[in-house]
């Protein structure tokens, strides 16, 4: 399936009456989702970025700047460091996702949004992602995954749209790769740019 066909499938996932809250980290995946849906005039789309002590401020600043540049409704929600993950437990990814998206669920209910969407893509479905269980439990939609978008598709489309973020490297918590229960304080920045031939 081509990127054009996947985009058409993405659009068909929603109705004009839907009010969509997008979990916007400012990363590559959620940027494509937000950019594409914000261009559909019939949809009511809002981006929400969650700020926590373990998310770099520059990530939040980039998310704010992108939304301003593209006239997208955006809000930043600040949360404290979750006590349940501070010792870096084995199920930290699940706990973290559950806490962050539960806050988005509360926000959506209070503000009348019937869909919460995140930027998970088709490649994520083939990896060990314990946080995906939390998304399923909270009924969070992953439109890019549903439409079949891979990371390659996403970066290539962002490049076609002229958005420099297609070159952005992935940011993951260092603790994800370490089984030891040390305090959750470090980051691992890795460059993973995959382009079509």
Cα–Cα dist 26/62, whole Å: 6
Structure confidence by residue, pLDDT tens digits, 74-100: 999 998 887 777 777 777 888 888 999
User: Domain limits at 46?
Assistant: 3-150
Structure confidence by residue, pLDDT tens digits, 21-36: 999 999 999 999 999 9
Q: Residue 162 to residues 35, 130, 155, 195: CA-CA distances in angstroms? A: 12, 33, 11, 15
Q: In this predicted structure, what is the pLDDT of residue 41?
A: 83
Identify whether 135 is part of a domain: yes
Q: Enter the DSSP assignment of 54.
A: T
The pTM of the full predicted model, rounded to 2 decimals, is 0.83
Alpha helices in the chain (DSSP H): 3-11, 28-38, 57-69, 92-111, 131-137, 143-147, 151-160
Q: In this predicted structure, what is the pLDDT of residue 195?
A: 41
Identify whether 165 is part of a domain: no
Identify whether 60 is part of a domain: yes
Identify whether 66 is part of a domain: yes
Question: What's the CATH code of the domain at 139?
Answer: 3.40.50.620
Share of the chain above pLDDT 70, in %: 83
Structure confidence by residue, pLDDT tens digits, 109-162: 999 999 999 999 998 886 667 778 889 999 999 999 999 999 999 999 999 999
Question: What is the C-alpha radius of gyration for the chain, rounded to an integer number of angstroms?
Answer: 16
Please tell me the total count of domains within the chain.
1
Identify whether 160 is part of a domain: no
Identify whether 35 is part of a domain: yes
Q: Please check the confidence at residue 185 and state whether its pLDDT lies above 60.
A: no
Residue indicated by tokens 């704010």: 64
Identify whether 70 is part of a domain: yes
Identify whether 187 is part of a domain: no
């Amino acid at each position: 399936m081509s990127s054009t066909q996947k985009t058409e499938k993405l659009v068909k996932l929603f109705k004009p009456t839907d009010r969509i809250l997008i979990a916007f980290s400012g990363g590559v995946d959620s940027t494509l989702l937000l950019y594409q849906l914000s261009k559909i005039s019939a949809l009511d789309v809002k981006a929400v970025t969650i700020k926590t002590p373990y998310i770099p401020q520059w990530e939040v600043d980039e998310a704010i700047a992108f939304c301003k540049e593209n006239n997208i409704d955006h809000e930043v929600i600040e949360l404290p460091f979750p006590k349940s993950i501070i010792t870096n437990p084995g199920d930290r990814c699940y706990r973290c996702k559950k806490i962050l998206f539960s806050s988005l669920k509360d926000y959506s209910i209070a503000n009348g949004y019937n869909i919460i969407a995140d930027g998970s893509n088709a490649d994520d479905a083939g990896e060990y992602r314990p946080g995906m269980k939390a998304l399923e439990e909270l009924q969070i939609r992953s439109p890019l995954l549903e439409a079949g978008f891979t990371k390659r598709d996403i970066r290539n489309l962002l490049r076609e749209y002229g958005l420099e973020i297609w070159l952005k490297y992935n940011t993951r918590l260092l603790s994800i790769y370490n089984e030891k229960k040390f305090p959750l304080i470090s980051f691992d920045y890795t460059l993973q740019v995959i382009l079509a031939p």
